[in-house]
Structures are given as structure tokens and as C-alpha cells.
Amino acid sequence: MKVLSGKKFLIYGFFLIGVFFLQTTVALAQQDPMLELKTIVAKEAKVKKGDKWVVEKIPVSKTGPGDILIYTTSYLNAGKGPAVDAEIVNPVPKGLVLVPDGIEGKDTEIQGSLDNGRTWQKMPVKILTRNPDGTETEKPAPADRYTHVKWIVKKPVAPGQSGRVSFKATVK
């Protein structure tokens, strides 16, 4: 039996520790979730079908003031492990105003931001306003103040599982 001493022992010990961490890192990486996101934009339009007008989503070729755009983000867990409390964040594009009751996301907690994503509140975001008598009242933020929308997916997203979230915004 050969006895390792001094520097050889330390090098061998660090090698073993390095192999252990490498194996652990590889094992964890194989279990990591990996959400793939794809966002598409459609326009909400009234279309005549027979003798009735219906609202449909159509491709966006051009827009004008008052048009309602629908941003839909599809997600897929392409990883090896479940995505727990996955967060999907979309900015409200410049020139658009969020439609607060036009936000959808099954099994999600929906939050909004008025400050470019620095702080978040459950929807609808509340703000304090000062009354003429000096008191303050809490009320929903005006739609044009929203800068971002966030969905927190409350059910784990298993590998291979997918879903989608969406919001509507009006062109200024």
C-alpha cells in the first residue's frame, strides 16, 4: 500500500472534491427546468360572419389609435426538472396602454408594475391619492401607468408541459 503525503495528498484530495462537485453540478443541471418562451402579437378585430359581428384575433399588419393588441406568451419546459413558481415578465410596449381586465393566465398569480419592474403588486395595482381635505385614498392605478405585467405560475410546470399567458393593450 502506497501512502500519499504532503502535496500529493492535497492535490489528490482537491481532485476528489472537484470530481464530487462536478458530478453534483452535472446531476443538478440534468434536473434543471428550462422554460422556452415565445411571444406573438395579434390584433382584436370585429369581423362580420354571416349577419353577425364577432371579435376575432387577426395577424397584425398595421395598427392605429384605439386598436387592441393581444400579446400571448407560450411557455414550454424543455428542461429535465419541474419549473416551480416560474415567472414570466412582459413589458407593456411604448405607445400602448394596458387593459387591466384583459390579462389572462391559468393557474397564475398576476402582478403589475408601475416602475419598470422594480416593484410588483397583485393586480390591480393600488396607488395612494391625496384628497382635497389632505387625507389619502387607495385606488386602482390608471391603466396608462402600467409598465410591466408578471405571471407567477403557481403549479409546477413538469418537463414537456406547456401553457400560455396573455395581456391586451390599446394603441394610444
Write down the domain spans for the chain: 1-31, 33-171
Q: Which three cell numbers stand for residue 58?
A: 387577426
- pLDDT at 26 exceeding the cut of 90: no
Q: How confident is the model at residue 47 (pLDDT cuts 50, 70, 90)?
A: confident
pLDDT tens by residue, 101-128: 999 999 999 999 999 999 999 999 999 9
Q: How confident is the model at residue 161 (pLDDT cuts 50, 70, 90)?
A: very high
Looking at residue 74, its pLDDT comes to 97
Q: How confident is the model at residue 166 (pLDDT cuts 50, 70, 90)?
A: very high
Q: Pick the closest to residue 40 from 68, 70, 65 (CA basis).
A: 70
pLDDT tens by residue, 119-159: 999 999 999 999 999 999 999 999 999 999 999 999 999 99
- pLDDT at 42 exceeding the cut of 90: yes
Looking at residue 139, its pLDDT comes to 96
Q: Is the pTM of this model over 0.85?
A: no
Q: Which three cell numbers stand for residue 35?
A: 422554460
9 φ/ψ angles, rounded to the nearest 5 degrees: -65, -45
Looking at residue 5, its pLDDT comes to 44
The whole-number average pLDDT for the span 74-85 is: 95
**Cα 29 versus chain centre, distance:** 22
The whole-number average pLDDT for the span 49-61 is: 90
Looking at residue 65, its pLDDT comes to 97
Burial (Cβ within 10 Å: 0-12, 13-18, ≥19) of residue 58? exposed
Residues 6+ apart with CB under 8 A from 100: 112, 123, 124, 140, 143, 146
What are 58's strand-pairing partners? 43
- pLDDT at 16 exceeding the cut of 80: no
Residues 46 and 69: their CA atoms lie apart, in Å, by 13
CATH number listed for the domain at residues 33-171: 2.60.40
